[in-house]
């Protein structure tokens, strides 16, 4: 694991393999290890001849933390991703994000379009535009002193996940309050890069992948059969389709 500094944060990252670079941006409450290493994405990509670069978003994993919600705007985290490419001397990369990471990747494509060759957006479909429901109870669940007192189902799920990953729950609570900035349909239409939108068919968080893909000039949807929001990440069919997509759109 290596570190680089940007916007007041020390951000942890890994850089493995050779070939066209694929920048991996993890989801809320996760880390590069949980989202990309353990489910086999780094291994899959490097064995296929790609350079896999994955980092811990601010407030997550081994990266430094803040308890200020304004530090976690998706555009600021997109700036971290762009800064990592600059740090590594990479002018252009494939960019793949999952859930919150998909939102960050989309903002990166809009704010730093020359750096983004293609996009793979996992675990977030039309919810990028229309929202993904009320997540304030998740912040409350993360800060609850007694986890047995949590009654909100989604809050309980993310609190359990945060405890399992030994995350800084105060940092995550700050992050969840401000990292859900929506992207308007007209803005999404300005994402010109080839984009694959992949969502599980039993995912009750992400929203429709096809409706998001239809807004983009070069978008396409992929249904991850029988998978929910948590289990879609490491799905074999998702990996197979992602590799095919990367081959179809070389840098």
pLDDT at 157: 86
- In this structure, which long-range contacts are made by residues 181-186, counting pairs with CB atoms below 8 Å and at least 24 apart in sequence? 181/73, 181/74, 181/75, 181/103, 181/107, 182/128, 182/129, 182/130, 182/131, 183/103, 183/106, 183/107, 183/110, 183/128, 183/129, 184/129, 185/129, 185/215
Torsion of CA 136, 28, 245, 48, to 10 degrees: -170
CATH of 2-131+182-245, one of 3.40.50.1000, 3.40.50.300, 3.40.50.1820, 3.30.200.20: 3.40.50.1820
Tens-place pLDDT, residues 232-242: 999 999 999 99
Question: Could you please report the per-residue DSSP string of 156-174?
Answer: HHHHHHHHHTT--HHHHHH
Q: Is the pLDDT of residue 207 over 90?
A: yes
pLDDT, tens only, 94-135: 999 999 999 999 999 999 999 999 999 999 999 999 987 777
Q: What is the pLDDT of residue 243?
A: 98
| pLDDT, position 49 | 98
Mean pLDDT to the nearest integer, 59-75:
96
Q: How far is 207 from 24, CA to CA, in rounded Å?
A: 21
pLDDT tens for 23-38 read 999 999 999 999 999 9
Residue 62: C-alpha distances to residues 71, 75, 164, 167, 188 (Å):
17, 21, 15, 9, 31
Res. 155 pLDDT band, cuts 50 70 90 = confident
Residues 10-21: tens digit of each pLDDT: 999 999 999 999
Report pLDDT digits (tens) over 165-206: 889 999 999 998 889 889 999 999 999 999 999 999 999 889
pLDDT at 137 over 90: no
């Amino acid at each position: 694991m290596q570190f680089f500094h940007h916007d007041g944060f020390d951000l942890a990252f890994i850089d493995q393999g050779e070939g066209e670079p694929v920048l991996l941006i993890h989801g809320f409450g996760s880390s590069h290890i949980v989202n990309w290493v353990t489910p086999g994405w780094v291994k899959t990509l490097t064995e296929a001849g790609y350079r896999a670069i994955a980092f811990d978003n601010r407030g997550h994993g081994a990266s430094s933390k803040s308890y200020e919600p304004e530090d976690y705007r998706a555009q600021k985290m997109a700036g971290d991703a762009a800064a990592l490419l600059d740090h590594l001397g990479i002018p252009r990369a494939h960019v793949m994000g999952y859930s919150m990471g998909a939102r960050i990747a989309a903002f990166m494509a809009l704010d730093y379009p020359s750096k983004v060759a293609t996009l793979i957006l996992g675990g977030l479909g039309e919810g990028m535009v229309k929202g993904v429901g009320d997540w304030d109870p998740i912040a409350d669940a993360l800060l609850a002193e007694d986890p047995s007192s949590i009654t909100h189902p989604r809050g309980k799920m993310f609190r359990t996940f945060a405890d399992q990953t030994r995350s800084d729950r105060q940092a995550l609570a700050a992050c969840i309050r401000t990292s859900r900035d929506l992207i308007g349909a007209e803005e999404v239409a300005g994402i010109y890069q080839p984009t694959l939108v992949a969502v599980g068919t039993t995912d009750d968080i992400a929203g429709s992948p096809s409706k998001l893909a239809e807004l983009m000039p070069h978008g396409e949807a992929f249904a991850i059969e029988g998978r929910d929001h948590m289990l879609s990440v490491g799905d074999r069919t998702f990996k197979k389709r992602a590799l095919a997509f990367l081959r179809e759109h070389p840098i």
